[in-house]
Chain A
Amino acid sequence: MNSLRERAFLNRLDELRGTMPARPHDARAIAALAANPGCARRAVMDAAGVDKDRAARHVGFPAPFGQSQFAITRGNVFESLVKENGCAELLRLLRELLGLSVAQVGYRDVESVGSHLRHSHTRALIDRAAREDDGTAVFYDHPLFSLEIAGHTSYLEPDVVAFQIGGRFHIVEIKSFGMIDGQAEPDKVAAAARQAAVYVLALRTLMADLGHDPERVSHDVVLVCPENFANRPTAALVDVRKQLSVLGRQLTRMTRVEYLLEGLPDDLTFDLAPGEDGVPTRSADELTQALLQVPARYAPDCLSTCDMCMFCRHEARACGSTDLLGRQIRDQLGGVSGMHEALGLAEGTREAVEGQEEIARLLRLADRLREESLR
């Protein structure tokens, strides 16, 4: 992209977002980008930094995500326990896990400087560590990383600690779900791995930026969880290479949002500028119409990852899309996208168009067998 086009593209994204500041992507949001790569609505809204949660609320379809204060408290308690006394507990775990013989380890809390300085402070610390390859080991708590997402710099404030020994880095992710008899819930581990991959990528980008070898950031992240039912932490290495490649692919795609914007009306915007009462001044109807201009690709999985899920599900239902029932069903229907269409083919009330003959034959047979067996 040449700079003029790039400027135009970024301006267009700003228009789409309207007068509100861009919503920063946290690691969870970035990790979720990979969840449904085919969805244009989500890609455009994310690239423009629109507050999807607020948009969904305003059009009357709030996302069903909430967090219990018990879970939050538990998470905080566990994290502070691991980080107590300059990460003493963490050092014990890493010694066992990585087979280290270090007795001493430094501890730098990046949060000690003002928030506006944290990013440059992180940069300086990492640069120094990468240069002085003298075998010392240091924890960096509360580092502030950045990642470029569709032209915008997103700052990431990980709960994580970066651990450096001899110029090599590990990302340490602290999670409060239990690891019972060496096993944790697979979907929770997967979510943690996706998040940690974002930090690995951010740190690698920083290393490359500083002129160091990005591969010095390990793809093995350290996952710290409570052991069994107690508060005592335990650690495991998680290989995030797969998550890294998915994420990398997804982020390159984000810049292709440009192409998604091409067919859209020039005056399209998702502006959520609030009035005096804090409620967006635009009418919900108008916003709904704007949202419908960008096609979505709803899948039931969205219900656990995307703020717009209820809105898109409603839309899919209204237009009778087979997406509503899940990918598996859609595959069984040979990619026929309309429910009426599929039923019509099965019941013989609709002629198969070219390319549908095979699936129409199968559906008609299925329909006959079903009727026969239920008789």
Chain B
Amino acid sequence: MSALTALARLRAVRDGVAQRITTVRHCHISDQPLVLIPLKLAGEAAAPLAAMVGTDPGHPRLLVVPQPRNRDLRFAFAAGLAEVLLPYIEGFEKSTETVERRGGEPYERCLDAPQILVPNRSAASFTGLLGRSTRFRRAEGPYPVHPSVPLLGRWLTYFADRSQQPGSSVLLAATEALSLHWATGQSGLEDANLAALLGWIDPPPGMSGHRAAEEAEDPLLWPPAGPTTDPGFDNEVLAPAIRAYEEAPTDRAVDRVSQALRTQLDPTWRLMWRAVDLLRSLPEGSRVKDRWEIDRGSFTRFVERIAEGSPPQARRDGAVGAAARLAGLERARASYDVQRAHDDPLLMAEYRLTGEAFAGTVIAADPEHSEGEGRSRKLRPLITVRTGDPVRLTPGTVVGSPDRRGHAAEIVEAVDGEITLKITKGMGRGRTPAPGSVPEPGERVSYTSLIDDFQSSAALPGPEQTPWTHGGPPEEYEPGDDDAQEEWL
């Protein structure tokens, strides 16, 4: 949260409509995303109640569990969800490209990957729990389930895990994706309500964002986006409908539960597609493609893992696995922050505000300047930039420029808004700099100490060499019969 965002929120309050806090979109939005809105039974950890799911805004599929405490009905629900989700995922597995690697075997990567959109963070976590409760099931033995159920569980787990990776777009929570791009005139806590958030971003004609958000808080007008349902609805509508089903499990009783749940899901379904349209209307940031490429790679590896017949994801990471995951998350977070700032002048402005970046006009340049003598002579062009930004970079700091990839410089001196830089990279190999590689006087430039440099992954021992301080080498995880027969009440 920066002063810039705070300012945007103040403006949102005054103008009655949300304000943009980015100039471009920083997440990938697929041409064919799958929207999933899960609902769960209140008071239970992972008892699915219903889901609205699909890729066509006009034709959602509604899945319900008429008696959420019935195990068989739950697995039937899971099989129904698999029927929608698995073909969607498999649709992306076939077309691949060959990626050449420097010093390695070329490998295959899917040309596109699936993307699931859920309303909020709780829905993303619930997706993970659904995955956890289904991935260990088996199609044979006691309590058999449809073969698609365990596969669904592994995919849901994959999506939920992957959504924790900063910059990944395979599973997005709509409220988070929207809040990344717009500041509303309410608190971050209230932004978790999808209807209220969209009320601020795109209020109905003639209504202020504030009014629209207030209306969105009424559960009768805008049912909560889940996964928990409105307690009033539970007590007055859902409970009698479930009771009726218990007394006589007829089609009519199922219909009654379905109709009731549809009223809770329909409004959110429409909101989700409005969110998709709003996000699509933003121009895509230039590095979004690079990050989606990483997502495609990750998706391809998981497809291969399943094809190889490897076991479902373990209940918990081992010590080495957990450390590696954490290090990976940290690297992804750092790189994601830098990439976004480089893509977006409005985000870079936050770093200018804190003195880690500056923008200004070149007032002098010495493109032929060099250092050293004879064979060790190196080309080191000098430029001086005048800026009004409060620069807090000390001499010797290495900086990069969002406008020029591969360009690097070092701060020589910073006095009274005039900054002298020594360019160290990106001028070509000649005795004189390549044309255009050194900014000319009058040119507008920006520099920052924020650099997305390659960080090698932490050196961790193999799992079989886990030190005794961390419990020693873990036992190989083999999902057993207990896992497959675990109660799901």
Query: How far in angstroms is the closest Cβ of chain A from B13?
Result: 6
Residues of B within 8 A of A64 (CB): 217
B20–A374 CB distance below 8 A: yes
In which size bucket is the chain B interface?
35 or more
Q: Does A301 contact B (CB under 8 A)?
A: yes
Residue of A nearest to B231 (CB): A66
Query: How far in angstroms is the closest Cβ of chain B from A309?
Result: 11
Query: How far in angstroms is the closest Cβ of chain B from A128?
Result: 38
- Of A89-97, A105-113, A198-206, A222-230, the stretch lying at the interface with chain B is A222-230
Q: Does A333 contact B (CB under 8 A)?
A: yes
Which residues from 159 to 210 on chain B have a C-beta closer than 8 Å to any C-beta of chain A? 185-190, 210
A73–B353 CB distance below 8 A: no
- Take A229-B45, A369-B349, A369-B352 as given contacts and tell me if A68 and B235 are in contact as well, using a CB distance cutoff of 8 Å: yes
A324–B8 CB distance below 8 A: no
Q: Does B315 contact A (CB under 8 A)?
A: yes
Residues of A within 8 A of B13 (CB): 320, 324-325, 339
B345–A373 CB distance below 8 A: yes
- Of A1-9, A16-24, A163-171, A176-184, the stretch lying at the interface with chain B is A176-184
B9–A329 CB distance below 8 A: yes
Q: Which of A70, A176, A226, A343 contacts B11 (CB 8 A)?
A: A343
A363–B7 CB distance below 8 A: yes
A75–B6 CB distance below 8 A: no
Annotate A341-375 by CB proximity to B: 1 below 8 A, 0 otherwise. Answer: 01100100000000000000011011111101110
Chain B CB count within 10 A is highest, among A66, A70, A329, A370, for A70
Annotate A225-258 by CB proximity to B: 1 below 8 A, 0 otherwise. Answer: 0101111100000000000000000000000000
Q: Does B366 contact A (CB under 8 A)?
A: no
Q: Which of A67, A176, A333 contacts B3 (CB 8 A)?
A: A333
- Take A70-B41, A70-B234, A229-B486 as given contacts and tell me if A372 and B349 are in contact as well, using a CB distance cutoff of 8 Å: yes
Whole-angstrom distance between the alpha carbons of A67 and B232 in the complex? 8
Residue of B nearest to A71 (CB): B43
- Take A69-B234, A370-B7, A374-B346 as given contacts and tell me if A180 and B187 are in contact as well, using a CB distance cutoff of 8 Å: no
The A-B contact count (CB < 8 A) is 150
Residues of A within 8 A of B486 (CB): 228-230
For the residues of A in contact with B, the DSSP-based class is helix
Residue of B nearest to A182 (CB): B316
Residues of A within 8 A of B316 (CB): 181-182
Q: Which of B132, B185, B217, B346 contacts A181 (CB 8 A)?
A: B132
Q: Does A85 contact B (CB under 8 A)?
A: no
Which residues from 278 to 333 on chain B have a C-beta closer than 8 Å to any C-beta of chain A? 315-316
A180–B45 CB distance below 8 A: yes
Whole-angstrom distance between the alpha carbons of A304 and B192 in the complex? 13
Whole-angstrom distance between the alpha carbons of A368 and B390 in the complex? 13
- Take A70-B42, A70-B43 as given contacts and tell me if A370 and B229 are in contact as well, using a CB distance cutoff of 8 Å: no
Whole-angstrom distance between the alpha carbons of A62 and B34 in the complex? 37
Which residues from 4 to 58 on chain A have a C-beta closer than 8 Å to any C-beta of chain B? none
Whole-angstrom distance between the alpha carbons of A92 and B359 in the complex? 67
Q: Does B5 contact A (CB under 8 A)?
A: yes
Query: How far in angstroms is the closest Cβ of chain A from B485?
Result: 11
Q: Does B143 contact A (CB under 8 A)?
A: no
- Take A69-B235, A369-B353 as given contacts and tell me if A332 and B14 are in contact as well, using a CB distance cutoff of 8 Å: no
A370–B8 CB distance below 8 A: yes
- Take A300-B189, A326-B188 as given contacts and tell me if A339 and B487 are in contact as well, using a CB distance cutoff of 8 Å: no
**Could you list 30 A-B pairs, sorted by A, with CB under 8 Å?**
A66-B230, A66-B235, A68-B42, A70-B239, A71-B231, A74-B42, A180-B129, A228-B45, A228-B133, A228-B487, A229-B133, A229-B486, A230-B487, A230-B489, A300-B188, A300-B189, A320-B13, A324-B13, A326-B187, A332-B5, A333-B3, A333-B10, A343-B10, A363-B3, A366-B353, A367-B7, A369-B389, A370-B4, A370-B349, A373-B346
Q: Which residues of A contact B (CB under 8 A)?
A: 64, 66-75, 176-178, 180-182, 226, 228-232, 300-301, 303-304, 317, 320, 322, 324-326, 328-329, 332-333, 339, 342-343, 346, 362-363, 365-370, 372-374
By Cβ-Cβ distance, the 10 closest A-B pairs, closest first, are: A178-B45, A71-B43, A230-B487, A66-B231, A68-B42, A300-B187, A74-B43, A68-B234, A332-B6, A369-B349
